Amino acid sequence: MCASATKTSDCRECYEKQMRELAVLCELDDATLERMLAIKDEVLAGSGGGRIRPDRMGELLSRVTPLLGTDDPYHDIKREYNQLLLDREKDCSDRILAADGPFQLALRYAVAGNLVDFGGKNTFTREDVTSLIDRVPEIAFAIDDSEVLLDAVRRARSIMYLADNCGEIVLDKLLIEQILRENPSVQVTYGVRGGPAINDVTLDDAEQVGMADVARVLSSGVATPTTVLSASTEEFRRAFFDADLVISKGMGNFEVLVDGCGREDVFFLLMTKCPLVADLVGTPLMSFVCKRG
């Protein structure tokens, strides 16, 4: 999702972009698009003048979905990008196993997968994704708390890993596999969205890539492109707060949880794909970030 700097900016531009992209994807006429934009304005007005974050997108999507003709417009695209990364899974796994620092390389692959985001400002192609994957061993973190994270992983009994987008779920799986090599006894819970929300990960995506082979997969119960703890199921909240360590993927999760989520030991893994998030984090655009919250 598009980011929001704490005092000056928010996600309004990306909300409008999302409506226009959905109209194109679903082949809707201009009149339907205008209705969608009007609903968008109503949702934003309901914020009461406060800054707009990704958690409002869930309400917007629920209200425009009856106009789309499908409740999951990104279904086919998501499966294509999952398969694109599944086709690269073995190669990436082999590189991780051969690396001098396998955990750090697995982290960087997982962050590279964050490029696959149809909800933000950045545009990309399948070729962009595969090219970035090829360059991962050469890319350094702009903010690098990976050694602190590795130490926390080795000491943890339980980890909550918050998912973000399709495609990158495959690289999340490789990172979880490496986590289990570093700490074979740790229990990992992989938190997914409660229903279709742009191209965010759901139970269907987890099934497609075999995530259950390495982690317990748990739905938040909320179909919105971020983690909204207050609206999530009791089981999901319990997994989040009881875990020894939380790993949060992507900008949408970062934008909401960084404001305060009831715990400090959260590690954020993301690419700063939006200028506003880059400013908030303090890195150049398109940087790799592993940051303790």
41-98 pLDDT per residue, tens? 999 887 665 667 788 889 999 999 999 999 999 999 999 999 999 999 999 999 999 9
DSSP, residue by residue, 168-189 = HHHHHHHHHHHHHHH-TT-EEE
Neighbours of 20 (CB within 10 A): 14
Domain range summary for the chain, segments of one domain joined by +: 12-67, 75-292
SS3 219: strand
> Which pLDDT band holds residue 8 (cuts at 50, 70, 90)?
very low
Residue 30 and residue 20: Cα distance in Å, rounded?
Answer: 10
- Kindly state the percentage of the chain with pLDDT values over 70: 95
Q: What integer pLDDT is reported at residue 1 of this predicted model?
A: 37
Q: Residue 220 class from Cβ within 10 Å (0-12 exposed, 13-18 middle, 19+ buried)?
A: buried
pLDDT tens for residues 208-245?
999 999 999 999 999 999 999 999 999 999 999 999 99
Tokens of 213: 């082979």
> Which pLDDT band holds residue 2 (cuts at 50, 70, 90)?
very low
Average pLDDT score over residue span 87-112: 98
Q: What integer pLDDT is reported at residue 51 of this predicted model?
A: 67
Average pLDDT score over residue span 120-143: 93
CA 150 remoteness from chain centre: 21
What is the rounded average pLDDT for all residues in the chain?
92
Cβ-based neighbours of 213, under 8 Å, separated by 6 or more = 173
- Kindly state the percentage of the chain with pLDDT values over 90: 81
DSSP annotation of 249:
E
Residue 251 and residue 98: Cα distance in Å, rounded?
Answer: 30
> Which pLDDT band holds residue 263 (cuts at 50, 70, 90)?
confident
* Range of weakest confidence among 51-55, 97-101, 137-141: 51-55
Residue 39 and residue 8: Cα distance in Å, rounded?
Answer: 24
Q: What is the CATH number of domain 75-292?
A: 3.40.50.10880
The CA-atom distances, in angstroms, between 270 and each of 24, 34, 55, 191, 283 are 28, 33, 18, 16, 12
Q: What integer pLDDT is reported at residue 230 of this predicted model?
A: 93
> Which pLDDT band holds residue 289 (cuts at 50, 70, 90)?
very high
Q: Is 196 within 8 Å of 144 (Cβ atoms)?
A: no
Residue 108 and residue 290: Cα distance in Å, rounded?
Answer: 9
Q: What integer pLDDT is reported at residue 105 of this predicted model?
A: 98
The answer on pLDDT for 4 being more than 80 is no
Q: What integer pLDDT is reported at residue 262 of this predicted model?
A: 80
Determine the angle formed by the axes of helices 89-98 and 102-112, rounding to 10 degrees.
150
Q: What integer pLDDT is reported at residue 136 of this predicted model?
A: 98
The answer on pLDDT for 27 being more than 70 is yes
